A = this chain, B = another copy of it.
């Protein structure tokens, strides 16, 4: 049965996340991970071809968690409320696990480049965001860029300067309104 093997791989990835939470992403070493799962370091190569493959599995796992979470969100019919609900869920996902956010969105491991397959869910998330933005009246590509950058700036500041708090993310709803209103106003002005 290949099921056994898959379960084992999943448990190793889970242990890797646990290790990353305690020691930071850079603290994830094959020696440490092997110790955490009760194995010797070379034995890990039965499950991952390289350390990069391990990171890629973690990256894919994190993206899977993200999509799973966002797909579970009940979106209101009203476009603006839907966008807010969606972004709130994203922000909650991010701040509840800064380490995961770092690996998924900040590339803290210079040598690691995610494979296209692992990267695809992240693009899916961005596409969904753009879709909701458009529905809410933000269609200009520049406006979308600004919105995405603003969200990133907000969560970065939150995680970097006030982890566990709400100093920055408490402004999320208000800023969303600000950006949407501005985009709509400028769109009507351009006509």
Give residues in A with beta carbon < 8 Å to B: 24, 26, 110, 142, 145-146, 148-154, 156-157, 167-168, 170-171, 175, 178, 182
Is the pair B167, A157 in contact by a Cβ cutoff of 8 Å?
no
Contact A110 B26 (CB under 8 A): yes
Q: Which residue of B lies closest to A172 (CB)?
A: B146
Tell me the complex Cα distance, A156–B152, Å: 9
Oligomer copy total? 2
The 10 closest A-B pairs by CB, nearest first: A153-B153, A149-B157, A149-B153, A152-B153, A149-B154, A146-B171, A150-B153, A150-B150, A178-B182, A26-B110
Known: A24-B110, A110-B24, A156-B156. A146 touches B167 (CB 8 A): no
Please, how many angstroms separate the alpha-carbon atoms of A148 and B145 in the complex? 17
User: Contact check: which of B110, B146, B150, B167 meets A145 at CB < 8 Å?
Assistant: B167
Closest to A158 in B: B149
